[in-house]
């Protein structure tokens, strides 16, 4: 039997997902929370086999949370949830310890199959994600796309800027100095080859880096 934990900040999505999973005969328990810190506390019990982790959490990137989860619970089977079949996120998630990467709009039966697969120690990506990964690997461009050079913190701040948050608000949320945020912003613009926040938004939308 499989115990599942869902960490996602959308209450209605969690509730619907929980109801769907509870109908599976081999899923014993489904817990859910919108706060990743609460999720970590729940994982401390040590009886969760599969974690469904949203890639876009309000105060922390799901990929950064994945790093923490994998460091503290290396044997835990993690499936990342995302709105899109984004190969750059899927590749990073799988490299950083996730065993699966699925889109939120997938069929319930496919998600249950993913949970069963990772619980058996296998990796799982749906066909759309697998195709996107293959396309990225077969690209004639030798150098990775610029955003693949961003660190976890740079990726997080980029998404916050694209969402329209002011640098002072970002500093307050991340508990860092606003000058540090400005430094991150400058590095992000340089790495992506853009000159303004408006161009940064265009870049992020074009490359499907935000949900």
What's the pLDDT at 64?
A: 81
Mean pLDDT in residue range 131-152 = 65
Taking the C-alpha atoms of residue 69 and residue 186, their distance in angstroms, rounded to an integer, is: 30
DSSP labels for 13-73? HHHHHHHHHHTSTTEEEEEEES-HHHHHHHHTTS---EEEEESB-SSSBHHHHHHHHHHH-
Q: Render pLDDT for 79-114 as a digit per residue (tens, 0 to 9).
A: 999 876 666 677 778 888 899 998 888 888 889 999
Q: Render pLDDT for 24-35 as a digit per residue (tens, 0 to 9).
A: 999 999 999 999
Does residue 6 surpass a pLDDT of 90? yes
Q: Name the residue with tokens 């959308």.
A: 10
Q: What is the pTM of this model?
A: 0.66
* Domain regions of the chain by residue span: 2-137, 146-206
Q: Domain 146-206 is in which class? A: mainly alpha
What's the pLDDT at 143?
A: 47
Which carries the bigger pLDDT value, residue 191 or residue 168? 168
Does residue 163 surpass a pLDDT of 80? yes
CATH architecture entry for 2-137: 3-Layer(aba) Sandwich (3.40)
The pair of structure tokens assigned to 101 is 């990467």
Establish whether domains 2-137 and 146-206 are of one fold. no
Taking the C-alpha atoms of residue 143 and residue 156, their distance in angstroms, rounded to an integer, is: 22
List the one residue out of 58, 64, 56, 60 whose CA is nearest residue 83: 56
């Amino acid at each position: 039997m499989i115990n599942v934990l869902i960490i996602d900040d959308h209450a209605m999505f969690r509730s619907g997902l929980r109801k769907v999973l509870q109908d599976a005969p081999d899923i014993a328990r489904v817990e859910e929370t919108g706060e990743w810190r609460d999720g970590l506390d729940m994982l401390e019990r040590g009886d969760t086999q599969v974690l469904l982790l949203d890639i876009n959490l309000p105060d922390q990137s799901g990929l950064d949370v994945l790093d923490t989860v994998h460091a503290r619970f290396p044997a835990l089977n993690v499936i990342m949830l995302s709105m899109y079949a984004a190969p750059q996120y899927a590749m990073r998630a799988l490299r950083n310890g996730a065993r699966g990467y699925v889109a939120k709009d997938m069929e319930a039966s496919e998600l249950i199959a993913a949970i069963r697969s990772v619980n058996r120690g296998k990796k799982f990506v749906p066909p759309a994600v697998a195709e996107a990964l293959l396309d990225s690997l077969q690209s004639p461009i030798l150098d990775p796309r610029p955003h693949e050079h961003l660190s976890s913190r740079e990726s997080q701040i980029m998404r916050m800027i694209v969402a329209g948050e002011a640098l002072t608000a970002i500093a307050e949320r991340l508990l860092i100095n606003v000058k540090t945020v400005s430094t991150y912003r400058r590095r992000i613009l340089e790495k992506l080859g853009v000159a303004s926040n408006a161009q940064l938004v265009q870049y992020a939308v074009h490359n499907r880096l935000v949900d």
